[in-house]
Amino acid sequence: MTVGTVNTVVAPYRSARPVMGTIASVHVYDRDRVGEPGVVERTVDRVFAELERLEAMFSTFRADSEISRINRGELQIPASSTEVCDVLDACRWLDQASDGAFSAYRPDAPDQLDPSGFVKGWAADRVSQALRDAGLANWCLNVGGDIIVSGAPGRDQRWKIGIVDPRDAHAVRATIEVSHGAVATSGTAARGMHLWDGRTGANATAFASLTVIGPNLTWTDAFATTAFALGEGGLEWVKQFDGYQAMAITHENEVVTT
């Protein structure tokens, strides 16, 4: 997923760093509108620091993360941090709401937790509050294609979110314009076959990619992951949630929307 702007009226502050196994970027268009010098830079540093803290807590690749310790039996879920308990509660709800299509347990190791299908969007949504608390109004936060935006990049403009062509990572298949809200895409373009249907344990393959647009990035990302796992019924499943819309790209490169 890409972010583009044209004809901006305020020079943006941009920063990008590797985190959570991907690249996170922040674009802020309030740099010349905030009175206190350095407030944008310090706020963006806090955003990245919090993302790194959450990665250390949830990573399945770090031996000292809470998820890894739970999987080894060294830490009981009720004794884990509030953040971990909240995420696992949300994962259990998604499991029930999707009749098992969403699962926080790996199909190749059913007793091993892997909430990565929920954590990235939730983490990005959580850290975006620092931008609001700093009084920033016009910004875009992108964590590996999970995008949340506020305001606008320029006068009479909206944020333009490009949906990558699943067959060509350098091409844009569709564009979505957003002023406030979130966009998240699940698919095979960036990481190949890495999403599974919790009901069968098999790779989810019905679509090449599936994008959800909504007001809240936590659930926009979670619904995209779940709908992709559901396959053919995924678009209809998203429609039950007010304020959320879905768009899928088929393996024939056709666009299907709600």
Alpha carbon distances (Å) from 162 to 6, 76, 178, 211: 14, 41, 11, 11
pTM above 0.85, yes or no: yes
Residues 6+ apart with CB under 8 A from 41: 13
Mean pLDDT, the chain, whole residue set:
90
Q: Could you give the angle at the alpha carbon of 89 between the alpha carbons of 241 and 206, nearest 5°?
A: 50
24-75 pLDDT tens trace: 999 999 855 555 668 899 999 999 999 999 999 999 999 999 999 999 999 9
75-96 pLDDT tens trace: 999 999 999 999 999 999 999 9
User: Is 205 in a helix, a strand, or coil?
Assistant: coil
Residues 6+ apart with CB under 8 A from 104: 88, 91, 92, 95, 113, 114, 115, 117, 118
Q: What is the pLDDT of residue 154?
A: 85
101-122 pLDDT tens trace: 999 998 888 899 999 999 999 9
Alpha helices by DSSP H, listed for 26-139, are: 39-58, 66-71, 82-97, 116-127, 129-133
